[in-house]
Amino acid sequence: MTQPDTLRGIGESASLARIFPRLPSSDYAIVGPGDDSAVMSAPDSRFVVTTDMMIHGPDFRLAWSSPQDLGWKAAASNLADVAAMGARPTALVVAIAAPADSPVSLLEGIADGLRDACAALAPGCGVVGGDLSVSATLTIAVTAFGDLDGRAPVLRSGARPGDVVAVSGVLGRAAAGLRLLFEHGVKNETPDATATAALRAAEPALVAAQLAPEPPIGDGVLAALGGATAMLDLSDGLALDARRLATASGVAVDLSSAAVGDRESLDGGEDHSLLATFPAGTALPGGFRAIGAVVAGSGVLVDGQPYDERGGWDPYEQWSGAAG
Amino acid sequence: MTQPDTLRGIGESASLARIFPRLPSSDYAIVGPGDDSAVMSAPDSRFVVTTDMMIHGPDFRLAWSSPQDLGWKAAASNLADVAAMGARPTALVVAIAAPADSPVSLLEGIADGLRDACAALAPGCGVVGGDLSVSATLTIAVTAFGDLDGRAPVLRSGARPGDVVAVSGVLGRAAAGLRLLFEHGVKNETPDATATAALRAAEPALVAAQLAPEPPIGDGVLAALGGATAMLDLSDGLALDARRLATASGVAVDLSSAAVGDRESLDGGEDHSLLATFPAGTALPGGFRAIGAVVAGSGVLVDGQPYDERGGWDPYEQWSGAAG
């Protein structure tokens, strides 16, 4: 029986040669991968940049996520941070560190996920550079870029009393998927691939919402064009991220429980939906729907009552240390 | 006795609040850290971008490197990749993943090293964004940006027969420092802080060349202004990187052993010096000195004889798996 090729077995150069052809190219690349640096076009004379790491253990489990899922989620979560500025994503650079005995197919799958996410969520965006390292812990670090097309960036700090609070994208679905994975994707309290396959068959949409979310990337530009006064991406949960927007803007955000839905929609993280505020009377663009109002004060209210639950996921406090 | 604050103990927000004030700001930041993305000025309507990760184990040992060393080296090695395009470094984004029981002082020290390296090697360059995660393996991922001031980027592929081969910066010093650390910075075959302190006192320059290298960042722009036809940064050793330049340009590089020095200067990696080619007769700019000539053919020659040693450091083959 043939053993699969591993990073240690075929080495860095041969591994990169297997990965490169699978990566999406960027419409904005002047010099792509292969030199000391890439050279990117920045037609606006500014660029937007964000970076985020995914770590085996606190951020994902290999028994739950396919390699494609990992590449998809690494791209999607960073693209959402670009979109949340009202920018059009142009490119990613991707650094991956993997155990030396990892099969090369793991890296190929991650590359396929990066490619598929760019094609589906941000056409024209591609990978312009990267780095491949060995590590005891599988780690994916993505830095994403965007272009503002001449517009002002949409910051967290521009919400004003009287504005409508709106969201584009799902609420609480990624958290529901994670809850299902902890409940049914384990065997003897350990993440388990066989149990996860059965769960995926039974609950494909919720599991996919956690493992390969589909944030409404194009709605970032539409929000900016539509007059958004503030915006951010919902990575840690609606309540927690709405509080960040409220604090940055010096206002309070009053959410409607009827519009938001259940408690998981209020507290669940990792949907990477877009939360934005618009002047009252604005025709909400794209997939945005009203879920509340900006009022004078501070913090988050639900139906006018202060809501002080933290919500969200804090790996510093909650990660057991197990990788799975 | 008071225990030091740890990441788990004080949490992500409080940790970030301790780190942020220590980070250098960028002259090119329009929107700095704190929103979903940063917004950078790109006066040239292009930007240069490179990314590189440093991993505990294969790339550094905590018994050898101080936290400041780690921040310094993470900045310096990425700045060198920007400089090797002929660009002026403008900013970094930095993602750090650390064990939850790490003292916050580890992160503060890394921030100080980033600040000191930017101030010393690339004034005006600063940190415009980042990410802090927990991981079983301490990991530092830096993405660096540069501006070309309207010039063409200096690629690896422009060397032509007849060009002078020149280097700016030291050769073999980082490798000599690493050799000394493996010989004298260990106790019972394990990296040891006490032994390393004694070694640092005896051989400060060579140890610093490995742990906190000082690549000639400003010479990247000077090389471009001075007519460099090709350039790269020496991360894996002169012989190996010269071969990359030769292959990309479709030429051979003939090095002079008298100009290069000993075998460690030819094969030793991690100096992050700049290797460039210039048309014959060019007055070499900055700290560049001639070490050979571009000739027709392929690969690397030394004194006219083919040199086929790989040289350099391949963590895929050579890393034991120990962290230290």
Chain B residues with CB-CB distance to A134 below 8 A: 55, 57-58, 315-316, 319
One domain for residues B200 and B231: no
One domain for residues B205 and B272: no
Task: Say whether B59 counts as a known binding-site residue.
Answer: yes
In a domain, B319, yes or no: no
One domain for residues A75 and A122: yes
Contact B36 A84 (CB under 8 A): yes
| pLDDT tens, residue order, chain A (324 aa) | 578 999 999 998 899 999 999 999 999 999 999 999 999 999 999 999 999 999 999 999 999 999 999 999 999 999 999 999 999 999 999 999 999 999 999 999 999 999 999 999 999 999 999 999 999 999 999 999 999 999 999 999 999 999 999 999 999 999 999 999 999 999 998 999 999 999 999 999 999 999 999 999 999 999 999 999 999 999 999 999 999 999 999 999 999 999 999 999 999 999 999 999 999 999 999 999 999 999 999 999 999 999 987 666 566 566 667 777
- Could you list the residue range(s) of the whole structural domain that residue B207 is in? 176-211
Least confident of B8-17, B68-77, B211-220: B8-17
One domain for residues B29 and B143: yes
Measure in Å the smallest separation between the Cα of B201 and chain A Cα atoms.
Answer: 31
One domain for residues B207 and B228: no
In a domain, A131, yes or no: yes
- Which of B57, B155, B231 minimises the CB distance to A135? B57
Structure token pair of residue B272: 């992050």
Helix (H) and strand (E) counts for chain B? 11, 15
Tell me if A232 sits within 8 A of A244, measured CB to CB. yes
DSSP string, B37-93: SEEEE-TTSEEEEEEEEEEBTTTB-TTTS-HHHHHHHHHHHHHHHHHTTT-EEEEEE
Predicted confidence (pLDDT) at residue B12 exceeds the cutoff of 90: no
Contact B155 A31 (CB under 8 A): yes
- Which of A50, A95, A128 minimises the CB distance to B37? A50
Chain A residues with CB-CB distance to B137 below 8 A: 97, 135-137, 139
Tell me what pLDDT residue A13 has.
86
> What is the band of B3 on the pLDDT scale with cuts at 50, 70, 90?
confident
In a domain, B23, yes or no: yes
Least confident of A200-214, B267-281, B297-311: B297-311
Tell me what pLDDT residue A31 has.
97
In terms of Cα–Cα distance, which of B13, B41, B61 is closest to B322? B61
In terms of Cα–Cα distance, which of B69, B49, B51 is closest to B61? B69
One domain for residues A197 and A267: no
CATH number of the domain within which B58 lies: 3.30.1330.10
One domain for residues B199 and B72: no
In a domain, A157, yes or no: no
Task: Say whether B262 counts as a known binding-site residue.
Answer: no
Tell me if B86 sits within 8 A of A35, measured CB to CB. no
Tell me what pLDDT residue B313 has.
60
SS3 A228: coil
Q: Quote the CA–CA distance of A233 and A162 in Å, as a whole number.
A: 21
One domain for residues B138 and B89: yes
In a domain, B189, yes or no: yes
Contact B85 A145 (CB under 8 A): no
In a domain, B70, yes or no: yes
CB pairs under 8 A between A and B: 242
One domain for residues B95 and B54: yes
Number of domains in chain A: 3
Contact A46 B40 (CB under 8 A): yes
The amino acid occupying position B253 is V
> What is the band of B262 on the pLDDT scale with cuts at 50, 70, 90?
very high
Tell me if A274 sits within 8 A of B37, measured CB to CB. no
In a domain, B323, yes or no: no
Percent of chain B topping pLDDT 90:
92
Q: What single-letter DSSP state applies at residue B265?
A: H
Produce one character per residue of B23-52: b if its CB has 16 or more CB atoms within 10 Å, e if not.
bbbbebbbbbbebbbbbbbbebbbbbbbbb
* Shortest CA distance from A102: residue in chain B: B316
One domain for residues A140 and A41: yes
Q: What single-letter DSSP state applies at residue A172?
A: S
Tell me what pLDDT residue A322 has.
72
* Shortest CA distance from B158: residue in chain A: A35
In a domain, B17, yes or no: yes
One domain for residues B190 and B245: no
One domain for residues A44 and A98: yes
B142-198 pLDDT, tens digit each: 999 999 999 999 999 999 999 999 999 999 999 999 999 999 999 998 999 999 999
Q: Mean pLDDT over all residues of chain B?
A: 95
CATH number of the domain within which B284 lies: 3.90.650.10
Strands (E), B85-193: 88-98, 126-134, 139-147, 164-168, 186-187, 190-191
